[in-house]
Structure 1
Amino acid sequence: MYLHTMTDESLHTIPLEHNIDYHIMSLFERLEAMRKDSHGNAINNRLSSTLQPKRNMQGEIRTLEFWRSIISECLASFFYVFIVCGAAAGAGVGASVSSVLLATALASGLAMTALTQCFIHISGAHINPAVTLAACIIRTVSPIRAAMYITAQCGGGIAGAALLYG
């Protein structure tokens, strides 16, 4: 079976196994083979990453990536609390309730968007202990990482409020 294509010079006959469908199918077959784990089973859960193997607690604590993500969670919580509380405090002493609510809501949404963009590639940008606890329950983060994230988030939030209200 042949595929006929028209070019400027002449009519070329290309065997069917060299057309675009063949290349797409071979690409999908290669991708499927790459998705297989070492036992030959397909990885069905997108949350279980083959890039980061499971480590024990001591091995995880000793990595630079672990401490970098803890510090990023602390900084993200610090900035979030500082920005949102600062927006509420900066609305003015005699400001109406609606203007304080609007300023706080806008600051909260924009701060969360910006902080997520800044920290998602480092730690996942949980920023909230409830999100971290949920991630621990569904096992996307280890219990030691969740405990350290929650500690860092609380510490960052306290530091952000302390810097603002002093």
Structure 2
Amino acid sequence: MITLRTTPEILGHQELKSMPLYRAAAAEFLGTLMLVMAACASAMSSGLTLSAALAPGLMQAAIIQAIGHISGGHVNPAVTLSFCLCRNVSVVRGLFFLVVQVAGAITASGILYSVVPNIYHNNLGIATKNDDISNAQAFGVEVLVTFIFVLTIQGSFG
């Protein structure tokens, strides 16, 4: 894996003139859109099902296979942030990816909201916590699980 070493490499302002940056950003937008649509749509079924658990993971694997050679297949702001902090992508590329990932997620949510029946509008992809768990505990679990996810990705590319 490439580690950026000089200040111009870390900042990446020279990438603004290159078409691969914009191609990679478009791939990240599309990949994030597909991932959010799969995750939210799979959660629409009543009750917890195996398909709701597997769909996002399988979609993530398919997306990484499809766009990984173009953008690295981050499709998650936490992954992009970790790659920036570890100097595996430039600041410019990281900022571009963060913006298009958020835009892709918002676009996917809007598309899904417009095509599903009204009965599902109140719980499209909503993650709820158990009433026995405090907000701080839920936040801690989310941080831990995200850390494990990002560590696994960083480890597989290192």
- Would the TM-score normalized by the shorter structure come out above 0.5? yes
**What is the identity percentage for the equivalent residue pairs of Structure 1 and Structure 2?**
33
Measured in 2, the distance between the counterparts of 1:150 and 1:81 equals: 15
1:86 to 23, 41, 57: 41
Cα distance, 1:56 vs. partner?
A: 6.4
The residue number in structure 1 matching 2:20 is: 65
Cα distance, 1:103 vs. partner?
A: 2.0
Task: Map 1:13-52 onto structure 2 (within 5 A).
Answer: 46-48=1-3
Amino acid at match of 1:129: P
Q: SS of 1:79's equivalent?
A: helix
Per-residue deviation, residues 105-163 of structure 1 (Å, max 9, x unmatched): 11111101100100110000001000000000000001111111000000000100110
Gap regions ≥5 residues in structure 2: 115-158
Q: Does 1:74 find its partner at 2:29?
A: yes
1:47–1:83 Cα change, 3 Å: same
1:130 to 39, 57, 78: 78
1:57–1:103 Cα change, 3 Å: same
Measured in 2, the distance between the counterparts of 1:142 and 1:59 equals: 10
Cα distance, 1:55 vs. partner?
A: 8.4
The residue number in structure 1 matching 2:67 is: 119
Give the alignment's Cα RMSD to 1 decimal.
Answer: 1.9
Richer in helix (by share): 2
1:162 to 110, 132, 139: 110
Measured in 1, the distance between the counterparts of 2:79 and 2:17 equals: 24
TM-score by length of 1: 0.62
1:98 to 8, 33, 48: 48
Gap regions ≥5 residues in structure 1: 1-45
Larger Rg: 1
1:55–1:142 Cα change, 3 Å: closer
1:58–1:143 Cα change, 3 Å: closer
Measured in 1, the distance between the counterparts of 2:76 and 2:101 equals: 7
Q: Does 1:140 find its partner at 2:95?
A: no
